[in-house]
Structure 1
Amino acid sequence: MHYKKFLIIIFSFLAVFCVDINYSLAEAAHNLIIIHTNDVHGRLKPVDYDNKQDVGGFAARAKLIKKIKSQNKNVLVLDAGDIAQGTLFFKFFNGVPDVKLMSEVGYDAAELGNHEFDKGVSGVEKMVESAKFPFLCSNIRFLNNSKLQKKIKPYIIKDYNGFKVAIIGIIANDLKTLISNSQNLEVLDSVEITKNIVKEINSKVDLIVVLSHSGFEEDIKIAKAVPEINVIVGGHSHTFLKKPYQVFHGKTSTLIVQDGEFGINIGDLDLKFENKNIEKYNYNLILVDGTDKDNVFEKKIAKLYRKIYLQSNQKIGEIKVSFEGEPSTRKQLNKYGALINHSIKEKCPEAEIVFLNGGGIRSKKPWKAGAITLADVFEVYPFENLIVVADVKGSDLKSVLETSSRYFPESNAGLLQSLGLEYDVNMKEAPQIFSEDGLKIIKEGNKVSNIKINGKPLENDKYYKIAMNDFIFNGGNCYSQFKNAKNVRKTNIFVQNAIIDYIKKNSPVSVEVEDKINLY
């Protein structure tokens, strides 16, 4: 009897002791909330998106972010790049108001995106200098601009009350194929750079976050290669992740988050962690109600908009047919591509073929039959590219089409919208293989055949006059073949202006897809 009482006392003591231990561990665990955006592309005002009206807009995002920050401690606010390019705001203001507004709402850091370079390195400088938060990027080197190199940090360490968080910035390894005038940039391998930084800082911090503008698939590779990473806040691929994607490393994992595009959502990741591992998390992908706005920010944005309203809403012409329901310009030929290529052809009638990269066509709001404004044109084609005309050898043209076709049937920003072509694509044949940086063809593809230029079969040794934008001519989207071109004529005609002139001259415009890509 006394023995049983003794055991009861001992077990009671142990139970209390265990509760105390668990309570102490719970107290020791740290909490952090990560609020994140990516690929906003200049959407300062609410948009209509995927049958939803008035979603997003900076004033509404700001209200949500301010509310979360006011109700919680230890909040980290991040953006994963491509902040401003995509609307008339960028054309007029070069992204400066965007980063100033982000500074006011309290962003802690942003990663450079490839579209931060759309106004050149000088455009990057303006945005970086206007921000009160640091821009990050660890794997890029500005070869002739040491001042900018110093301002863009490879990583930062945020010191919260009781714990430290490292945020490392990385950009896509193939950046040089995504931007123009990249000769003064060096892009280093993101995995190797991240490994080196993690080795340097791991003992100094409690949590490691990578802020990545590399795309979802690349983020998975990085997470697998560097298991010490706790969270990757991603961008570039415009991926909607309703919940974090987990890459497991035995008993631990890396969480990958991304909120889609255009600021219609913000991501809200609530973490509890200890001993460098995430013990528990909760995630919300919050749809931003564009009608529920912060009044202060709304007034600032309205003031900006008034400066461009009269010009941007100027009617330039009409279209006869609706562009609603058009297939993605990254998956197949469509009317937007046909319209733009006809616009280029009218400026360069000597061209036998016209090319446009599908990723250059951006608007998610389809054109309806009726009036077209300047704003409509700039939303569909926001890039300030010039038209180039060059003679390209038939064998190089075949290789160009292999590059364009290598991802079928998957989405591909480099898919060429064309004018003057018909060709077959064998889905079972091997595609082109590129180096990791996208600058070299390692192995030629064999998917494309039966190429016809304006009805006539391709001749490998013949030169064909091709009009295109300067982005793909300079190697964008992996089109290195154009470096072999002859009789290059760089016009002073912007693609945007060609579209405007074409609509004005031919209004009301009716356009259909004439080229054919035969998949089998």
Structure 2
Amino acid sequence: METWRILHTNDLHSHFEHFPKIGRYLKKAQADDSVDEIYTFDAGDFMDRSHPLTDATEGQANIQLMNGFHYDAITIGNNEGISNPHWVLEHLFDHANFPVVLANLREEDESLPKWAVTHKILVTKKKTPIALIGLTAAYPMTYGPNHWHVKMLGNTMDKELDRLKGQYDVLILITHVGLKMDRWLAKNYPEIDLIVGGHSHDLLEHGEKVNGTWITQTGKWGNYVGDIHVELNDDHQVTKIVPDTIPTVSMKTEPQDEAIIQGYYDKGKRLLSEHHVAELPEKFADDKVAAVQVSLDAIADFAKTDLAILSSGLFLTPFKSGILTQYDLQNALPHPMHIVRSTLKGSDLWRLVMEIEKNRHYLDHFHLQGMSFRGKIFGQMYYKGIQVDMRKRIVYVKGREIEPEKEYQIACLDHYVLVPFFPTLAIVGENEFLFPQFLREVVGNYLAKKYPLPTRSEVND
């Protein structure tokens, strides 16, 4: 007989407020001598650039802290793969002391990223070979513009299982594909013994068994830590899997925790505040509408369009007059969203505007979660270059009534393509996702041009 303890996390999203407790829990569990083996895995989205320290260090602070968690293997989530420019992800794991298992991502030349392996074989003290396969969410629409080739799950699994034939007794997947796709994997690949999953933020307190395969997830943000008991017989076959999750709130708080957590934030704030972006005039002082309007100009300029839409709920704080820093921008616009240039026929643009107007009052107070949104409410929609007469149901583009057969281009966000409120964008829009800059970088670059910082001679004067 052989016994294992598998510890796991997923979707930490830079919630460093839980890291001291999680670190102590893992350290104690990893010293457990009542079992034969202890393994620790993470299923992706461990970083989120909405935290100042992550943003300031481009995720290197996360890697340093995760090194202390002593992971045996991780995979990446969409926050690592899409929210980071290609070159940032290329160097994200330069100082990691754990392997990144990822079978379904390739460089544009089809080579495997230098920081990844498609699978890993672990061999226990009792000579049981374990095959680990890592998978991330297959989003070609957004991975492609970021110069990655993401592969579909079925084709990837078929190839990896063919390569691994005869090399393992136990098969474990570390996935960032969401519970729906984890269930699909379990139904279609019964040889999988265990899926350590993430992405959909589902809390499976005691796991879920599908077609003989156990699926586990710990929710989000480090609110829980997964702790799985596994038993095998003398033929190296799994006989028992007992998933469990431990609420982080139940873990003991130490006196130094608060200072450590605040220190992470303060360091990130200090690093970002050192970078000045622009010098804004008085009209921006505590005026969120001014921030929205200049940001509409920014995304239109970036996408090379005359039209643009943005929602006020994206702006967690207004901009301010005077020197604007990267911290101010990060605080106002923490969302890892990218600009989309959508091409629509006039009749479809008219319908998009009608969808916006129909939902306007509902969205003004709608509490939205997910979709890379880091705010609270959706808020009011604002236009650039578009006016609406709802009484007559007429839409004007730059002062002229819309032409049904004419093509128009509008700058928007991936957020609006993904949320269900404006289906026209997703259904008929020719949507071009623009990388690598995301929203606050686009806005910051525009502000730097429009309201440049004073030169050294001007400061001296």
Q: TM-score under structure 1 normalisation? A: 0.62
1:40 is paired with a residue whose SS is coil
Query: Is the 2:206–2:242 contact (alpha carbons within 8 Å) kept by the matching residues of 1?
Result: no
Query: Is the 1:352–1:454 contact (alpha carbons within 8 Å) kept by the matching residues of 2?
Result: no
Cα gap change, 1:109 to 1:461, in 2 (>3 Å):
same
Q: Deviations over 1:450-505 (max 9, x none)?
A: 98647999753244463324x579x88895966578xxxx999735649999xxxx
Cα deviation, residue 375, structure 1 = 6.1
Determine the structure 1 residue equivalent to 2:121: 157
Structure 2 counterpart of 1:344, one-letter code: S
Query: Is the 2:228–2:241 contact (alpha carbons within 8 Å) kept by the matching residues of 1?
Result: no
Structure 1 counterpart of 2:412, one-letter code: M
Query: Is the 2:6–2:228 contact (alpha carbons within 8 Å) kept by the matching residues of 1?
Result: yes
Cα deviation, residue 232, structure 1 = 0.9
Query: Is the 1:384–1:496 contact (alpha carbons within 8 Å) kept by the matching residues of 2?
Result: no
Determine the structure 2 residue equivalent to 1:354: 309
Q: How does 1:482-493 map to 2 (within 5 A)?
A: 483=430
More deviation, 235-244/476-485: 476-485
Residue 196 of structure 2 is aligned with which of 233, 249, 254?
A: 233
Determine the structure 2 residue equivalent to 1:494: 441
Cα deviation, residue 229, structure 1 = 0.5
Cα gap change, 1:380 to 1:452, in 2 (>3 Å):
farther
Cα deviation, residue 256, structure 1 = 0.9
Answer yes or no: is 1:287 the counterpart of 2:248.
yes
Cα deviation, residue 243, structure 1 = 2.1
Answer yes or no: is 1:122 the counterpart of 2:74.
no
Query: Is the 1:385–1:494 contact (alpha carbons within 8 Å) kept by the matching residues of 2?
Result: no
Cα deviation, residue 125, structure 1 = 1.9
Cα deviation, residue 278, structure 1 = 3.9
Q: How does 1:160-309 map to 2 (within 5 A)?
A: 160-162=124-126, 163-173=128-138, 175-179=139-143, 181-182=145-146, 184-248=147-211, 253-274=212-233, 275-288=236-249, 292-293=253-254, 304-309=264-269
Q: How does 1:21-32 map to 2 (within 5 A)?
A: 28=1, 30-32=2-4
Determine the structure 1 residue equivalent to 2:15: 43
Residue 334 of structure 2 is aligned with which of 369, 382, 406?
A: 382
Residues of 1 paired with 2:239 and 2:331: CA distance?
A: 41
Residues of 1 paired with 2:223 and 2:9: CA distance?
A: 9
Residues of 2 paired with 1:181 and 1:395: CA distance?
A: 28
Structure 1 counterpart of 2:103, one-letter code: S
Residue 58 of structure 2 is aligned with which of 91, 94, 105?
A: 94
**Identity over aligned pairs, percent:** 22
Cα deviation, residue 209, structure 1 = 0.9
Determine the structure 2 residue equivalent to 1:138: 103
Residue 83 of structure 1 is aligned with which of 31, 46, 52?
A: 46
Q: Deviations over 1:201-222 (max 9, x none)?
A: 3532232111111111111111
Query: Is the 1:136–1:152 contact (alpha carbons within 8 Å) kept by the matching residues of 2?
Result: yes
Cα gap change, 1:462 to 1:198, in 2 (>3 Å):
same
Cα gap change, 1:145 to 1:498, in 2 (>3 Å):
same
Residues of 2 paired with 1:464 and 1:194: CA distance?
A: 41
Determine the structure 2 residue equivalent to 1:447: none
Determine the structure 2 residue equivalent to 1:105: 69
Q: Return the index of the structure with the highest Cα Rg.
A: 1
Cα deviation, residue 154, structure 1 = 0.6
Structure 1 counterpart of 2:69, one-letter code: V
Query: Is the 1:386–1:494 contact (alpha carbons within 8 Å) kept by the matching residues of 2?
Result: no
Residues of 2 paired with 1:133 and 1:156: CA distance?
A: 12
Q: Deviations over 1:41-100 (max 9, x none)?
A: 1222x1xxxxxxxxx2x1221011001111244111111111212311221001112112
Cα gap change, 1:216 to 1:464, in 2 (>3 Å):
same
Query: Is the 2:226–2:245 contact (alpha carbons within 8 Å) kept by the matching residues of 1?
Result: yes
Residues of 1 paired with 2:262 and 2:369: CA distance?
A: 36
Residues of 2 paired with 1:41 and 1:111: CA distance?
A: 14
Q: TM-score under structure 2 normalisation? A: 0.69
Aligned length: 396
Cα deviation, residue 152, structure 1 = 0.5
Determine the structure 1 residue equivalent to 2:361: none
Q: Which runs of 5+ in 2 are unaligned?
A: 275-283, 318-324, 359-365, 420-424, 449-461
Residues of 2 paired with 1:452 and 1:135: CA distance?
A: 54
Structure 2 counterpart of 1:37, one-letter code: T
Cα gap change, 1:303 to 1:413, in 2 (>3 Å):
closer
Residue 64 of structure 1 is aligned with which of 25, 31, 36?
A: 25
Q: Deviations over 1:79-131 (max 9, x none)?
A: 11112123112210011121122122211111121111322221112222121
User: What's the C-alpha RMSD, in Å, of the aligned pairs?
Assistant: 4.9
